[in-house]
A and B are shown apart, each in its own frame.
Chain A
Amino acid sequence: MAYWDVGRFDSSLPLMKSSMITVHRLTKRFADLRTGAFTALDRVSFEVQPGEILGLLGPNGAGKTTCLRILSTVLKPTSGSAIVAGYDVATHPEEVRARIGFLSNNTGIYDRMTAGEMVEHFGRLYGIPEAALQERISLLFERLQITKFRDVLGSKMSTGMRQKVSIARTIIHDPPVLIFDEPTSGLDVLVARKVIDEVKTLQDQGKCIIYSTHIMREVEKLCHRIAIIYRGQILAIGSVQELADQYSEPDMEELFFKLIDRHEEGLAANLVS
């Protein structure tokens, strides 16, 4: 809950369940010239609690981004439901958007705005009162080390600088739910480290976080639980320890390949029959 208007959010909140994100049999299909319909997401279900980081692990094109886009209400699900912070993404998209912070490769920053203007603009869109907003911006900019390039235009920033501004934009309204889609891709180790530290800080604050990536080390380091997603389906979900036990494979990377191989084999067997 944002600290400046707890009352407003609370009054409009329906009965809170224990989990912040509940995804149930979520399915998304796209029309495709080549294959007819393409199922990007196939009956995916999971839950995420406050203070928990769920890692979405999967190769490119597995459906991670589609899933997260549905959670951020940018796409509408074909079927199934997703409840975020107590609101259904399909019926109350505005309420959901006000309560999530979303960062992905596709949420760039404006070239013709400075870091300060950019974050200020989004803060206002989230309805943060001006005084609180300024206070929050200086706090965040200090924490993320943006202050020194606060007045630089987006087009003049390096990738690392841009990502920092994006993070500031994502958390400016102090949302209870945060979604990071490959936040470290294309960054140098120093900035990547900074990003991961920031995600950790956010988790310590009790945020509910989904962290999607295809980098094993990040998952192992950050996430409480991992969902392995492949071809639009969740192949396995659980903590690192649980997965290791269940599949008797302590090495995450090996486990990942094993699961994918098994899934491929299953598909092939299906085709033959």
Chain B
Amino acid sequence: MNWRNVILIFQREVLDQLRDRRTLFMVAVLPILLYPLLGIGMVQMTVLFSEQPRSVVILGAADLPALPLVEGRRFASRWFHSSADADKLRVVTDLDDTATTLPPESKEQNAADEQMLANAKQICERIRERRKIETDLDAARAQRQPAETATLETALQNLNTRLTSLFDRSGIQVLIYIPADFARNLAQRQKELAERDVATTVQFDYARPVILQNSADEKSVIAHRRVHDVLQAWERSILKSQLHESQLPETLTEPVMPAEIDLAEQEQVSANVWSKMFPALLVIMALTGAFYPAVDLCAGEKERGTMETLLICPATRTEIVLGKFLTVFVFSASTALLNLLSVGMTGKYMASLAMGGVSSRLGDLALPPVSALIWVIVILLPLATLFSALCLAIATFAKSSKEGQYYLTPLLMVTLGLTMFCLSPATEMQPFYSVMPVIGPGLLLKGLLKANGPGTEMYLYAIPVLLTSIGYSLLALWWAIEQFGSEEVLFREAERFDLRLWIKHLLRDKEPVPTFSEAGFCFLLIMLLQFVSWKSFQTAIQNTAQEDQGLFQIRLLIIQQIALIATPALMMGVILTTSLRRTFSLRWPGFRRLLLAALLPFTLHPLTTELVVSLQWFFPPPPPGMAELMKHLKNANVLLVILAFAVTPAICEEIAFRGFLLAGFRRLGRVGVAVILSSCAFGIIHMIPHQVFNATLLGFVLGAMCVRNRSLFPGIVFHFGYNLLGILHDRFGKFVPTGSAWNFFFRWEDDALRYQPALLCLLSLLCIGLLNRLLQPASIPDLQDTNAPAVDESLPHSDRFQASALHG
């Protein structure tokens, strides 16, 4: 590695990018100008923004009690929190003297009001009709007259429909109907209350006002919320005066009325704002900042025809990628920082401007302390590294800038999803999240910027977050370098993609074992099938009777394994490969190896069980459905459970993951990477985090076993044994003696059989011994077998080609 070359390329690319108007715009101009402009825009909007007054019609206004609800054409301003709100509702009443007492308004307005009143009256007619039907309906129901009930129900429904359309067309947002004699009834009640004549039954049962609104209509909802508040204030006032006159304390109706104290200090309020905004902005801007330069540096370079110029210079591909990567990284990091800075400054300035407005409650949005800002930078570095490397790898694949942008959009979507997840107030840092890409850094930053200061545990979380982030970044960078080294990627022809031709090619140019992409596709297919079937399985489970659910779920599991895991892999194997024997490693490994594979679970199962238990703190709790299933497991027929949880998975999962997938992944040329990939795929399919972990671990063992024995069968035997032991452990663990001397090996804890350290040490030794035997490459006569396909793999192209050239 010649760092001088890396630096030379880096310098050139930075200069190149700085001369590119598009990149400069995205990276520097946009953040510096966008947020202040948005700020100005917001100020402008608040100045210019005026809410259209909404129309409220009151029918029967003459019957309103003396306490004035309405003043002229609006509600009395004393019923509003902020008196300015009174202008936002325009009240039209059916009082005769409206015209005389109110300031004259335009003729059209009056005409419109007249129209509205007419509409309101019509609506009220319908309401009365509706009430009558409702009474009849109740009566019919009470007398159990089904025919009558049905007719009335239809009539009611029709009426409702008509009422809705009538209301929608009326131009009224809220309609208040005051029943006749309402004021008189109210006064009567007050009088009776004041006299406190308990003997006379107080007539509380008078007709109440009716309020009509349409909650599907935004305007109506807003108006209704205001009207509701007004009427509540008004009602409270009426109540108070009633209490007063009855010589009761005015606070009678508020026996609790707690005093509320908000302890949030101003810095904390602002810290809260920043702790939400900064992580999201950091993640998204680090990605955006990497996105455009990466496309320009790779796809753009191909497009402009300078890629080959670069490739023929003495720098190695790794040096070129590193130079480009550093460039993308610098732009990603500076975009993110510039954006944060600009947002911070604008936010602070805006908040100080808007004193007295709503945002004054946010206080002066003081920027977070310097220590927090340093954390921002510390976290930004691995994030920018990850995104830069990912964008670079993807952009290398694209042939043109436009294509690059298409490929990068999914990355943006996924990142946005993860960011949204981090932003949710319910999501807090926990061990499992700390090792997830993007989520870890996002949550860490959120925790560090939090109002009440970061807890010590946050600083501890920084270690796994940073370590894993660096790990992911290095992986992504490695991928980018691999991509850049691949001829197919660099010199991809912009050939027209023809599905028919492609399928023909797949079927015609079959190879003995699947290709890497076929294996990858198989995995995606399995995932997709699981996802699609999930819903229908859930519905099916819910549709079965409660007591049968357990059994049903177990059966479903068998079907799922066969139909959704084994079948896709087998089908793809049959259709796309020429040698099922090699694809699925169908080779007799000999009894000795099968026996070793059968013994291995006895040593490995206790070890992994203890490992997972000891790591329980790390994983988020399993979903509730899981516990349910476990309960069923303990009660179901043991043979059925073994069939569902040991036999079927051992066969189906091995066929898919150690068969088709591993064979395809091995085409990468690196057996280790292939085993890791297939284990990760095997883990991911298990969904529940601690099972994912366990399955991935086992995947390593299973993958290595398959590769070394060149046979699927030891894996199947081991897989069966391992799962069987799991079932036996859950079910019959309680029969294992834990008393006296046995206590040296076993103990009973938390309703489960646990293994003592002494036993575990012994088992580890045995396990290493067994693995050592099992993972020895298969013996000499088979060795020729391995060599043969290796030679064959380099040859088939030429042979086939020559054959086809000769025969036509």
Interface residues of A (CB under 8 A from B): 27, 29, 31, 33-34, 36-37, 39, 69, 72-76, 78-79, 93-94, 97-98, 100, 102, 104-113, 117, 121-122, 124-127, 169, 270-271
Q: Are B314 and A125 in contact (CB under 8 A)?
A: yes
User: Beta-carbon contacts of B656-690 to A below 8 Å, as 1s and 0s?
Assistant: 00000000000000000000000000000000000
Residues on the B chain within 8 Å of A169, using CB: 309
Residues on the A chain within 8 Å of B308, using CB: 69, 74, 104, 106-107
Residue of A nearest to B508 (CB): A36
Residue in contact with B801 in the complex, picked from A39, A107, A113, CB distance below 8 Å: A39
Can you spell out 27 A-B residue pairs with CB atoms less than 8 angstroms apart?
A29-B797, A29-B801, A33-B501, A34-B505, A36-B509, A36-B801, A72-B312, A74-B311, A74-B312, A79-B798, A94-B316, A97-B312, A97-B314, A100-B312, A102-B312, A104-B308, A106-B308, A107-B305, A107-B309, A107-B312, A109-B306, A110-B12, A110-B16, A110-B309, A113-B12, A125-B314, A169-B309
Known contacts A36-B509, A74-B311, A110-B16: A125-B5 contact under CB 8 Å:
yes
Q: Are A125 and B8 in contact (CB under 8 A)?
A: yes
Residue in contact with B312 in the complex, picked from A73, A124, A127, CB distance below 8 Å: A73
Residues on the B chain within 8 Å of A73, using CB: 312
Stretch at the interface among B32-40, B282-290, B324-332, B487-495: B487-495
Known contacts A33-B498, A33-B505: A108-B305 contact under CB 8 Å:
yes
Residues on the B chain within 8 Å of A105, using CB: 305
User: Beta-carbon contacts of B293-337 to A below 8 Å, as 1s and 0s?
Assistant: 000000000001111110111111000000000000000000000
* B808 interface hit (Cβ, 8 Å): yes
Residue in contact with A97 in the complex, picked from B313, B508, B808, CB distance below 8 Å: B313
Cα(A100)–Cα(B315), bound, Å: 13
Q: Are B306 and A108 in contact (CB under 8 A)?
A: yes
* B200 interface hit (Cβ, 8 Å): no
Residue of A nearest to B505 (CB): A33
10 tightest A-B CB contacts, nearest first:
A108-B305, A112-B19, A107-B309, A106-B308, A98-B314, A125-B313, A102-B312, A108-B306, A37-B797, A97-B314
Residues on the B chain within 8 Å of A39, using CB: 801
Q: Which of B786-806 contact A (CB under 8 A)?
A: 797-798, 800-801, 804-806
User: Beta-carbon contacts of B8-29 to A below 8 Å, as 1s and 0s?
Assistant: 1100100110011000000000
A31, A39, A78, A112 — most chain B CB neighbours (10 Å): A112
The minimal Cβ–Cβ distance linking B110 to chain A, given in whole angstroms, is: 69
The minimal Cβ–Cβ distance linking B305 to chain A, given in whole angstroms, is: 4
Other contacts beyond A37-B797, A109-B309: 6, CB < 8 A: A29-B798, A106-B307, A113-B12, A125-B5, A126-B314, A270-B806
The minimal Cβ–Cβ distance linking A73 to chain B, given in whole angstroms, is: 7
Residues on the B chain within 8 Å of A69, using CB: 308
Q: Are B312 and A126 in contact (CB under 8 A)?
A: no
Q: Are B16 and A75 in contact (CB under 8 A)?
A: no
Q: Are A33 and B495 in contact (CB under 8 A)?
A: yes
The minimal Cβ–Cβ distance linking A64 to chain B, given in whole angstroms, is: 15
Cα(A104)–Cα(B308), bound, Å: 9
* B502 interface hit (Cβ, 8 Å): yes
Known contacts A76-B487, A125-B313, A127-B314: A36-B306 contact under CB 8 Å:
no
Cα(A80)–Cα(B313), bound, Å: 24
Q: Are A36 and B804 in contact (CB under 8 A)?
A: yes
Q: Are A113 and B305 in contact (CB under 8 A)?
A: no
The minimal Cβ–Cβ distance linking A17 to chain B, given in whole angstroms, is: 22
State which size class the interface on B falls in.
35 or more
Residues on the B chain within 8 Å of A98, using CB: 314
Residue of A nearest to B802 (CB): A39
Q: Are B305 and A106 in contact (CB under 8 A)?
A: yes
Cα(A94)–Cα(B800), bound, Å: 34
Residue of A nearest to B488 (CB): A31
Residue of A nearest to B498 (CB): A33
Q: Are B12 and A121 in contact (CB under 8 A)?
A: yes
Residues on the A chain within 8 Å of B804, using CB: 36
The minimal Cβ–Cβ distance linking A88 to chain B, given in whole angstroms, is: 16
Residues on the A chain within 8 Å of B495, using CB: 33
Cα(A149)–Cα(B8), bound, Å: 24
Cα(A37)–Cα(B801), bound, Å: 7
Cα(A93)–Cα(B495), bound, Å: 29
Q: Are B306 and A110 in contact (CB under 8 A)?
A: yes
Cα(A270)–Cα(B29), bound, Å: 66
Residue of A nearest to B506 (CB): A33
The minimal Cβ–Cβ distance linking B311 to chain A, given in whole angstroms, is: 5
Residues on the A chain within 8 Å of B808, using CB: 271
Cα(A106)–Cα(B311), bound, Å: 11
Residue of B nearest to A267 (CB): B805
Residues on the A chain within 8 Å of B800, using CB: 36-37
Residues on the A chain within 8 Å of B805, using CB: 270
Known contacts A37-B797, A98-B314: A108-B309 contact under CB 8 Å:
yes
Q: Are A113 and B16 in contact (CB under 8 A)?
A: yes
Residues on the A chain within 8 Å of B8, using CB: 121, 124-125
Cα(A110)–Cα(B304), bound, Å: 8
Residue of A nearest to B805 (CB): A270
Cα(A57)–Cα(B49), bound, Å: 75
Residue of A nearest to B487 (CB): A75
Q: Are B314 and A94 in contact (CB under 8 A)?
A: yes
Residues on the A chain within 8 Å of B313, using CB: 97, 122, 125-126
Known contacts A104-B308, A121-B8: A113-B505 contact under CB 8 Å:
no
Residue of A nearest to B509 (CB): A36
The minimal Cβ–Cβ distance linking B556 to chain A, given in whole angstroms, is: 41
Cα(A100)–Cα(B312), bound, Å: 9
Q: Are B16 and A112 in contact (CB under 8 A)?
A: yes
Residues on the A chain within 8 Å of B508, using CB: 36
Residue of B nearest to A104 (CB): B308
Residues on the B chain within 8 Å of A93, using CB: 316
Cα(A111)–Cα(B306), bound, Å: 9
Residues on the B chain within 8 Å of A79, using CB: 798
The minimal Cβ–Cβ distance linking B314 to chain A, given in whole angstroms, is: 4
Residues on the A chain within 8 Å of B491, using CB: 75
The minimal Cβ–Cβ distance linking A60 to chain B, given in whole angstroms, is: 15
Cα(A39)–Cα(B798), bound, Å: 9
The minimal Cβ–Cβ distance linking A56 to chain B, given in whole angstroms, is: 17
Cα(A75)–Cα(B488), bound, Å: 10
Q: Are A34 and B501 in contact (CB under 8 A)?
A: yes
Q: Which of B761-808 contact A (CB under 8 A)?
A: 797-798, 800-801, 804-806, 808
Cα(A78)–Cα(B313), bound, Å: 22
The minimal Cβ–Cβ distance linking B10 to chain A, given in whole angstroms, is: 12
Cα(A271)–Cα(B804), bound, Å: 10
The minimal Cβ–Cβ distance linking A80 to chain B, given in whole angstroms, is: 11
The minimal Cβ–Cβ distance linking A118 to chain B, given in whole angstroms, is: 9
Residues on the A chain within 8 Å of B9, using CB: 125
Residues on the B chain within 8 Å of A75, using CB: 487, 491
Residue of A nearest to B497 (CB): A33
User: Beta-carbon contacts of B481-521 to A below 8 Å, as 1s and 0s?
Assistant: 00000011001000100100110010011000000000000
